[in-house]
Structure 1
Amino acid sequence: MKQFFHLLYVLPLISFGQVEQGSNIHLVVDSLKNQLLYISQDFLVRLDATTLSKIGVQKILKPRNFDFHPLIKKNKLIFVEEKGGDVFELSKKDSLVRIENSNIKNFLIGSAVFIKKDTLFRHGGYGYWSQSNFFTYLAEQTKEWEVYPISNMSIKPIGVHNHLTLNDNFRFYFFGGHKLSHTGLRNNMSNDEVWSFDFQNRKWSFLTLRLKYVRGKCFFFITLLKNNYFFT
């Protein structure tokens, strides 16, 4: 625990040289290498997870206007485009090399990105005045994004973007974020629904949500199996 708080203090002090103010910062844990990866839009810093000492710094030469979400997949660091379907790996020459063949642009804004059984998944997202309510996954054989099939007996959840998610064994949960108005207007509405998906029977379930205010702040309390999670 002391190391965690020390990490929160040390990371902002790491010098990257010229880093744009306001750029996105990501922290990724590489458990196999026992490393913490501190990633800005232009640099990757590797830290020893035990001592928090700096192992190395690597530049990231990326396309223009490319915002990414870094993840560890099959022991490799990958970069997933936040608005579209592009997926990259970082080469030894510091360049991002594309590793998929899809052509999805500006359709996955605000989608949730996660790894399940070494497969890259996305859920939800917004683009072109529509909103997704399904999963897509990156197929290993074709290197293209495919729609993940669900049971014909399943109900269908709402479309959502910029939402919070949890993975608990064989279940996926989402809540919060925003949804589109059913009136056809392009107005974002706050999502107050909680849904879960069972990857074993491939069915969606609607869950309940309880709101509680503590000192003026709204906490979402959700009971998942025997565990309690809360978010602000």
Structure 2
Amino acid sequence: MAELIAKPKRLLDRDREWSLLREFLLDPAVQLRQAIVSGRRRNGKSFLLEALTEAAGGLYLTAIQEEGRVLALQRFSELIAAHAGVRPGALRLDGWQDVLSTALDVVNRAPGASLLVIDELPYLLQHSPEVPGFLQLLYDQSQFGKAPGGRIVLCGSAMSIMSELLSGTKPLRGRAVLDLRLPAFDFRTARIHWGVEDPATALLVDSVLEPVTISV
């Protein structure tokens, strides 16, 4: 498995972040492990995690703003069914506990790494604030062999919400082995991304674009 999770060439820089996520994914523990990935919008978080999921053969789910609970449950059910290789409409999951436990069952049985990525988590929490509680329950049960193992990555751009996930008395406090914040590119890396050959021009471009960060 280790040699299959090489960083793809289309992914610029991010060697450190890829190494940390790869180490998290290849942790030999059979129990459930969770990671948090956060950062400002358009820093390339989704691009990074989509590449990781593709390389590892995992399951990538993303929430949609203002989608609503019912439609989100339906769409997630269809994506989980597709990953499991069953026909569309064959899987109907009516609650987030069922969605999360079934997704973990599927990634543990399917070829590839037992990886589940939930992107744009804050959008999900707008209509389903109980999700972290169910993640806590699965995590705790997994430590005693009563729930599936695997690896879950939770990602989001709302920094205040993502930072609070592990704070105080929140359900996930003490239950994440990796808390990764993705920074914007420095001007040297951004120069490569934008194809700006002159370093001075690259510095000026970065000084203008840095407040809105870099998209990859």
Shorter-chain TM band: under 0.3
More helix, by proportion: 2
Question: Relative contact order (alpha carbons < 8 A, sep ≥ 6): 1 or 2 greater?
Answer: 2
Q: TM-score, normalization: structure 2?
A: 0.25
Which is richer in strand? 1
Query: Which protein shows a greater Rg?
Result: 1
